[in-house]
Amino acid sequence: MQANALVTRTRDAGDERVVRIHLTERGHALREQTADVPSCVARAIGLGRDELASLSKTSDDLRDRLISMPDDPADNR
């Protein structure tokens, strides 16, 4: 994204381990151009607003559970 001039990355002056990422003007323009993509996809597959919100929450919950899984699935019993 940085190579495509969509974002800039700068080190934090107070803590150089922290990298701040900001959209460039080009990045903001692309975000505006693509803002309708999620709703267009939802309409194309026949999801209403409530169904889309529910699906989004379910996928977020699944991601969180997968992240918090132990390395050994046997520990999950």
Residues in the chain, pLDDT under 50: none
Spatial distance between the Cα atoms of 76 and 12, rounded to a whole number of angstroms: 39
Calculate the alpha carbon distances from 53 to 11, 18, 36, 45 in Å.
Answer: 35, 32, 15, 14
The pTM (predicted TM-score) of the whole model is 0.55
pLDDT recorded at residue 49: 84
**Residue 47 burial (10 A CB sphere; 0-12, 13-18, 19+):** middle
